[in-house]
Structure 1
């Protein structure tokens, strides 16, 4: 039981580090101000909460599994559009950044 708790705690601690890595890379790549960095952090948190709500909806039966992919895609599209507005970059540039950072911030 102790091992299980320890492993779970380590997984939870890893997530903020990924966001920190993501934010650091975004600031460097897009030359973001502190206000933009804070706004991006809010966007990341919102997208994460929306994805968690989808998972919760599946568990409670409010969302059927066939809807998950579409709903998650909608959350991601909104996030990518908001990131593009924040940075002033095209969708292609945003997607290239997200793909590259996904490799580097695991």
Structure 2
């Protein structure tokens, strides 16, 4: 009986320990992708390329954050590195859509606000 209780206790401990680990959610880009597709009249191929660009930019930003936590990157360097990631993303988006960087920047600012509002509404429901 004691062995069974000990096994159940150990199982409960391992389950509770693994349940507390946060699982990373993939970047939710649906709102952004649909807005970009309608605004820039993107085909499905270009839409998938845009998704890849978004995922890559997110990965680059995440690696910068990990570098800060690990102490490899100072807080002063974060701003410069993040700017570099954003500049690369914006230039790639401009090439993909065939629009100027100014038009792309305007789009990103407008859509970013819209998509955040939609996300907040979903959380409230």
Which position in structure 1 is the counterpart of 2:109? Answer: 99
Give the match's secondary structure for 1:89.
coil
Q: Counterpart of 2:79? A: 69
Return the offset for 1:69: 0.4
Distance 1:34 1:45 in 2: 16
User: Which 4+ runs in 1 deviate beyond 4 A?
Assistant: none
Deviation at 1:12, TM superposition (A): 4.4
Give the length in aligned residue pairs: 97
Gaps of 5+ in 2: 1-19, 117-125
Query: Could you tell me the TM-score, scaled by structure 1's length?
Result: 0.85
Instruction: Give 1 or 2: higher helix fraction.
Output: 1
Question: What value does the CA root-mean-square deviation take over the aligned residues?
Answer: 1.8
Displacement of 1:103 in angstroms is 1.1
Q: TM-score if structure 2 supplies the norm length?
A: 0.72
Which residue of the partner structure matches residue 50 of structure 1?
60
Q: 1:35 aligns with which of 41, 45, 49?
A: 45
**Which structure carries more relative contact order (alpha carbon 8 Å, separation 6+)?**
1
Q: Structure 1, unaligned stretches of length 5 or more?
A: none
User: 1:95 and 1:64 mapped to 2: Cα distance?
Assistant: 28
